[in-house]
Each structure stands twice: as C-alpha cells, then as structure tokens.
C-alpha cells in the first residue's frame, strides 16, 4: 500500500501528469509486486519560486517520495529505482533529474481498512520480495 508523492515544477499537461503517475505505479507493481489496483498517489506542482533545484539539474527535476511497508529486499529497491528512472526517461525526464526517497514505515504506523493496524490484517500480497 505505497503512498506516492511526485513533486515537480508546474507546467505539465494533464496527460503528462497521468503518464508520470502511471510510470511510478507500474514500477512499483513490477519491483514490489503490489496489487495493480493499489494506487494512492498525488502530484504536487510548484511555482519556480517555490521549488528550488539543486545545481546541475534541469527544470525537469522530479522528486518521488514513496511511503511503504517495510520488508522489501535491497534488490527489489534497486529494481524500483532503476525502473522509475527508465520509465521517466521515456517521458523525457533525464535520469540525473530523478530523485527517489523511500520511507519505510512500521506496519503499526499504518491505520488502514477502517482504522485497523496494518500489522493486524492480511494484506493480500507479500512484503518479502
């Protein structure tokens, strides 16, 4: 049940924003084996004045923050990062302009499915991938 936030500068079309959401989601499905229907994502667009870009990056700089349950292997994480970069490159975002931050939150810190602790319910998929 990842929660994805994609932050970028304003200026993308509706179709471009949808393609970004789909690219990150598809990478999560492939690398972390989440359910295809498990989509909790948002895009945060900022004015240039409110989105500083590190030196050496372009206006395409994109930050992807993903909160996830713990348990994925180092290899699955490497696959996720690689897939996100590849899929965004296909959308015209240079690999060097993609920053991914993975936040692993303990299952006790997730209140889902009517306020239940994630640690106390059957999730429907494996975390050990």
89-114: b (≥16 Cβ within 10 Å) or e: eeeebeeebbebeeeeeebeebeeee
| Predicted pLDDT of residue 18 | 97
| Predicted pLDDT of residue 41 | 97
Residue 72 lies in a domain: yes
Counting the structural domains of the chain, the total is: 1
Where on the phi/psi map is residue 40: left (φ > 0), alpha (ψ -120 to 50), or beta? Answer: beta
What is the domain extent for residue 81? 3-120
Residue 126 lies in a domain: no
| Predicted pLDDT of residue 52 | 95
Residue 1: DSSP 8-state:
-
Q: How far apart are CA 59 and CA 61, in angstroms?
A: 5
Residue 125 lies in a domain: no
Residue 69 lies in a domain: yes
Residue 127 lies in a domain: no
Q: Residue 116: beta bridge partners?
A: 112
| Predicted pLDDT of residue 67 | 97
Mean pLDDT split into 10-residue runs, the chain, 129 residues: 95 96 98 93 97 96 96 96 98 97 91 87 80
| Predicted pLDDT of residue 129 | 83
**Hey, CA dihedral for 87, 124, 72, 114, is it positive or negative?**
positive
Residue 91 lies in a domain: yes
CATH code of the domain covering residue 38: 3.30.429.10
| Predicted pLDDT of residue 31 | 97
| Predicted pLDDT of residue 123 | 79
pTM: 0.91
């Amino acid at each position: 049940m990842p929660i994805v936030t994609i932050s970028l500068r304003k200026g993308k079309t509706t179709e471009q924003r949808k393609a970004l959401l789909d690219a990150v989601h598809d990478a999560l499905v492939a690398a972390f084996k989440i359910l295809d229907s498990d989509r909790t994502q948002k895009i945060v667009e900022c004015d240039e004045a409110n989105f500083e870009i590190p030196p050496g990056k372009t206006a395409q700089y994109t930050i992807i923050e993903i909160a996830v349950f713990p348990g994925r292997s180092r290899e699955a994480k490497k696959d996720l990062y690689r897939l996100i970069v590849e899929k965004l490159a296909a959308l015209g975002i240079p690999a060097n302009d993609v920053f991914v931050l993975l936040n692993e939150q303990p299952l006790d810190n997730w209140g889902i499915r009517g306020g239940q602790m994630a640690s106390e319910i059957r999730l429907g998929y494996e975390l050990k991938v």
